[in-house]
Amino acid sequence: MRIGVVSRSFPHLTNEEVAALLAESGFTWTELCLSQTDSNYWRYNGRSDLSDLTDERSREIVETYRRHNIEVASIGVFTNLLETDESELEQNLKYFERHMQIAALNGVPIVATECGFIPGQRGIHADTYETAFERLVQQVRYLGERAGHYGIKLALEPCVLDVVPSAKRTADFLEQVGSPHVQILLDPANLIANSSEEEMFRYLAPHIAYFHGKDRKVNDTYGRVVGDGDMDWHTFLNLYHQHTEGVPFILEYVNINNFCEIRDRVLAFDRSR
C-alpha cells in the first residue's frame, strides 16, 4: 500500500527538505499546502497574500517534489466557503481560483478544501443550517465550473463538525451540486461519529479523489493519529482495497517525530486485515 503525508506536517522545513525526507522514508504522495518555510502561504479557513507566488515559483516548488519521486496528489486550499461577508467571500473565491491555476499549470489533478466556517459558529445551527448548506452548494457549484475550466477536480472534505456531516449527506450534497468536476476528499475519522466504514464506501466510493489518514474517538472534537481512535482500520482497509485500490492515502496529524511510526501502523493494519 502506497502512503503519503501532508506537507503541513513539517512546517519548519523547506520544500526541498520535506521532499528529501519523504523520499528517504519511502513515501510516495503528498498533499501540498504551501506551508513550508520557503512557501509560507497556507492559512487554515482563511487566505494569504499570493501576489509573489509566481507561476515560475509554483513550478519550482512542485518540481522539487517530483525530483524526489514524490507525487503531488493535491494542492490543499482549505479556505472558508461559508463566509457571509460578500466582499470577503469574493476574495476567498479568487484565492481559491489562484490555487486552481497553479494546479492546472503544474499538472496537479486536485485542489482540496473543507466547507469552512465562521469562527465561534462552527457546526450545525438550526437557524442557519438550510441557508449555510445552500450557500455551500452555490459556492462549490461555481468552483466546480472553474475546476472544469482548468481541467482539474475540486475535492470537498466533509466533517461531522460542519454542514456536511455524514456520508449520506455528502452524497446528497454531490447530487445537488451536480458537477462532474467535484469529488470528495474522504477523511474517515471526520465521519466516524455519524457513518460506519461500510456507509462511507457505499455512498461515496465512486466519488473519492483521495483519503486523509487519521483517527478519531467518536466523542472527540479533534482527530488523532491512526490507531489512537475508534476507526475499525481492518474493515476500512478491506473496503479500500475492494473499492478504491490505488487511490492516494495521505497521513494527517503526524509530525516529524512520528510520521514513519504511524505509516508502519497503517501497514501493520493492512497486513493483518
For the chain, how many helices (H) and strands (E)? Answer: 9, 10
Residues in the chain: 273
Beta strands in the chain (DSSP E): 3-6, 29-32, 35-36, 39-40, 71-76, 110-114, 153-157, 182-186, 208-213, 249-251
Tell me the pLDDT tens digit for each residue of 56-74: 999 999 999 999 999 999 9
173-198 burial code (b ≥16 CB/10 A, e <16): bbeebebebbbbbbbbbbbbbbbebe
Coil, strand or helix: which one is 12?
A: coil
Cell, residue 241: 482495497
Residue 152's pLDDT is 98
> How many other CB atoms are found less than 10 A from the CB of residue 211?
23
Among 2.40.30.10, 3.20.20.150, 3.40.50.300, 3.40.30.10, what is the CATH number of 3-272? 3.20.20.150
Q: What is the pLDDT of residue 100?
A: 98
Amino acid at 173: F
pTM > 0.85: yes
Q: What pLDDT, in 10s, does the model give residues 219-243?
A: 999 999 999 999 999 999 999 999 9
**Separation of alpha carbons 186 and 157, rounded Å:** 6
Residue 92 has pLDDT above 90, yes or no: yes
Alpha carbon distance 155, 92 (integer Å) = 16
* In the chain, domain spans: 3-272
